[in-house]
């Protein structure tokens, strides 16, 4: 049995993968796919500066492995992260109950939620696979 809190008392920080791989919207999708393969991840956060030119990265979209497969199957020529990303980025805070992340995944039909810090900068990701790992502790 793995140590750690059970699902009923877990926080997002107990399940999230700290650190986020990011790219700007103009990144070629082939590069995004290489990032996924190189780092064994299933999602890359697409970041962009806000309208005021704030230098802190903010989650603008997210490209999942399924998004990459869809783009390839559609035959899009020279697809980019920005053209492929889901821009309905779902976010949670690290201190939120893990059940909140679950509720958001179900509500938005997504397998990943981005974990933001207090300033709105992405600092981690929680996936359905992470939820399963916590549920396995019970």
Residue 2 lies in a domain: no
**What is the number of structural domains in the chain?**
1
Residue 1 lies in a domain: no
The burial class, CB within 10 Å (0-12 / 13-18 / 19+), for 75 is exposed
Q: Are 82 and 67 in contact (CB under 8 A)?
A: no
49 C-beta neighbours (distance < 10 Å), count:
13
Residue 45 lies in a domain: yes
Query: Residue 68 sits in which domain range?
Result: 7-135
What pLDDT was estimated at residue 120?
80
Give residue-wise pLDDT tens across range 117-134.
888 888 999 999 999 999
Residue 77 lies in a domain: yes
Q: Are 71 and 86 in contact (CB under 8 A)?
A: no
What pLDDT was estimated at residue 2?
53
Residue 72 lies in a domain: yes
CATH code at 109?
A: 3.10.580.10
- Check: pTM over 0.75? Answer yes or no: yes
Residue 83 lies in a domain: yes
């Amino acid at each position: 049995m793995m140590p750690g809190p059970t699902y009923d008392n877990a926080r997002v920080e107990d399940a999230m993968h700290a650190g986020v791989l990011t790219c700007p919207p103009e990144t070629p999708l082939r590069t995004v796919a290489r990032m996924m393969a190189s780092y064994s991840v299933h999602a890359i956060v697409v970041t962009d500066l806000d309208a005021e030119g704030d230098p802190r990265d903010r989650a603008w979209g997210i490209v999942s492995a399924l998004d990459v497969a869809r783009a390839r199957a559609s035959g899009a020529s020279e697809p980019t992260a920005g053209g492929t990303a889901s821009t309905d980025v779902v976010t949670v805070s690290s201190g939120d109950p893990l059940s909140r992340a679950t509720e958001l995944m179900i509500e938005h039909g997504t397998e990943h939620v981005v974990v933001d810090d207090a300033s709105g900068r992405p600092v981690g990701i929680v996936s359905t696979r992470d939820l399963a790992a916590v549920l396995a502790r019970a």
